[in-house]
Amino acid sequence: MISTRGDLHRHDEIAESLSAVRSTIPPTCTLIVVTKTFPSSDVKILYQLGERNFGENRDEEGSAKALELPADAIWHFQGQIQSKKIRSIVNWADYIHSLDEVSHAKKISERCHELGNSIKTFIQINLDNADALSQEKSSRGGISPDQLDQFTDSIVGLPGIEIVGVMAVAPLGQDPEPAFERLAQLSRQLQGKIPSATSISAGMSNDYEIALQYGATHIRIGSSILGRREGHL
């Protein structure tokens, strides 16, 4: 797999940044390497280095990469869900982190039923403050925190959907600490309804150490391991 000089350089580069990140996270926490926008050759290097959990935001990209990696790779879909992509997403993703609409949950459930499988799902919560929510409503995913009980009740019985916990992205340009603290509260609230839903998907390259302090069980790290992405994803 590693044949050219360039690949060797990339292997060493990824190995170095990966071990730096790995040294700061406890073994009980699941590291998801967010490979969106990076080529599958990078994912293969990560796989060789022992990583198994990969995060993708787009169906086309995730499904193509999943085909190129061994079957024991675990794929996390964490992008905005589009209704027409659900059939495909369920084919390759093992986890969905970004569930925030009951209609999507129903579609996912129907599709899982057809395939005879199930998918692990986080409920995404929008932790932007109320002002930011009204200004920039469409830009970020997630239900609002006060919808959590009602949302959970609407999806809890759906076959094929295993609700594993809550997910959030900290508000842009603000102290992430209050957001992660709130997410920990919401996790306890969810566990009141679903005791097994103990997972917390929180923390990215620039805030994961704080997320860990507030109980993150799944952290999603891209740029600290793979470098800067082109564009805005």
Ligand X SMILES: *Cc1c(COP(=O)(O)O)cnc(C)c1O
Given 35, 57, 187, 199, the residue binding ligand X (CB under 6 A):
57
State both tokens at 187: 């996790």
d(CA 167, CA 180): 10
**Euclidean distance between the first and the last CA atom of the chain, given in angstroms as a whole number:** 28
Give the count of alpha carbons within 13 A of 17, CB side only: 18
State both tokens at 9: 């350089």
Site string for ligand X, 175-214 (x = CB under 6 A): -----------------------------xx---------
Kindly tell me which of 38 and 151 has the beta carbon lying closer to ligand X. 38
Q: At what angle do helices 59-68 and 40-48 cross, to 10 degrees?
A: 50
Nearest distance in Å: CB 114, ligand X: 27
Kindly tell me which of 115 and 233 has the beta carbon lying closer to ligand X. 233
DSSP class of residue 28 equals T
Residue 15 to residues 18, 50, 180, 220, 228: CA-CA distances in angstroms?
5, 10, 29, 17, 16
Nearest distance in Å: CB 213, ligand X: 17
Kindly tell me which of 47 and 208 has the beta carbon lying closer to ligand X. 208
Given 91, 189, 191, 223, the residue binding ligand X (CB under 6 A):
223
d(CA 225, CA 47): 13
Given 34, 108, 125, 190, the residue binding ligand X (CB under 6 A):
34
Given 78, 109, 121, 199, the residue binding ligand X (CB under 6 A):
78
Kindly tell me which of 2 and 205 has the beta carbon lying closer to ligand X. 205
Nearest distance in Å: CB 4, ligand X: 26
Q: Which residues contact 195 (CB under 8 A, 6 or more apart)?
A: none
Kindly tell me which of 36 and 104 has the beta carbon lying closer to ligand X. 36
d(CA 103, CA 121): 14
Subset of residues 94 to 153 that bind ligand X, contact rule: CB under 6 A: none
Contact positions vs ligand X (CB under 6 A) = 34, 36, 57, 78, 169, 204-205, 220-224, 233
